[in-house]
């Protein structure tokens, strides 16, 4: 594992600890497709979300395409009830983070079941997302091996046991 792969893996591991009810991170999104995607939400939620086409009505996605920084879910408008439904799957509290540089955007949603994220946790997560965004920005600077490992990590994180 190269240094950048190791660093990315370590940061993702830290995010697991900070968001015990899961997270979804899409890096360098073009239209609605990220170059790299990491998801640790419960499989049942990922299936429900996908089967019901919630991407286009998800307030985190809307906020993330319009803003940079972070916002608690409790501060988002949720007319379609996506976050209300997420709470039924154990994701009662959360934040959205977005990074934008040179026309490239990355968006992440992070959740907990037990309480709101603290300001320190939010700043730590935001810094991690910004760091990951920067470290994966230019695929030309990443080795082919690193790009392949990131894709494999994306599958392993999203679909454990695959």
pLDDT the model gives residue 151? 59
At 153, which helix (H) or strand (E)? Answer: helix 144-158
* CB 72 within 8 Å of CB 94: yes
At the second CATH level, the architecture of 3-157 is 2-Layer Sandwich (3.30)
* Predicted confidence band of residue 139 (pLDDT cuts 50, 70, 90): low
Angle at which helix 3-18 crosses helix 144-158, to 10 degrees, equals 20
* Domain coordinates in residue numbering, the chain: 3-157
SS3 for 70? strand
Model pLDDT for residues 89-110, shown as the tens digit of each residue:
999 999 999 999 888 899 999 9
Q: What is the DSSP letter of 117?
A: P
Say if residues 62 and 48 touch (Cβ distance below 8 Å): no
Rounded mean pLDDT of 22-30?
Answer: 92
Q: What pLDDT digit, counting tens, does each position of 77-90 carry?
A: 999 999 999 999 99
pLDDT interval class at 32 (50, 70, 90): confident
Q: Which class for 54: exposed (0-12), middle (13-18), buried (19 or more C-beta within 10 A)?
A: middle
For helices 3-18 and 119-135, what crossing angle results, to 10°? 150
């Amino acid at each position: 594992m190269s240094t950048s792969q190791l660093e990315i893996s370590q940061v993702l591991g830290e995010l697991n600890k900070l968001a015990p009810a899961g997270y979804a991170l899409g890096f360098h999104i073009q239209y609605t497709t990220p170059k790299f995607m990491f998801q640790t939400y419960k499989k049942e939620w990922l299936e429900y979300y996908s089967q019901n086409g919630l991407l286009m009505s998800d307030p985190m996605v809307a906020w993330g395409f319009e803003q940079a920084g972070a916002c608690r879910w409790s501060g988002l408008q949720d007319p379609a009830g996506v976050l209300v439904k997420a709470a039924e799957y154990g994701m009662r509290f959360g934040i959205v983070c977005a990074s934008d540089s040179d026309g490239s955007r990355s968006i992440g949603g992070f959740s907990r079941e037990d309480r709101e994220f603290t300001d320190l946790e939010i700043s730590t997560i935001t810094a991690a997302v910004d760091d990951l965004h920067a470290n994966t920005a230019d695929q030309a600077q990443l080795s082919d091996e690193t790009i392949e490992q990131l894709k494999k990590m994306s599958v392993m994180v999203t679909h454990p046991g695959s």
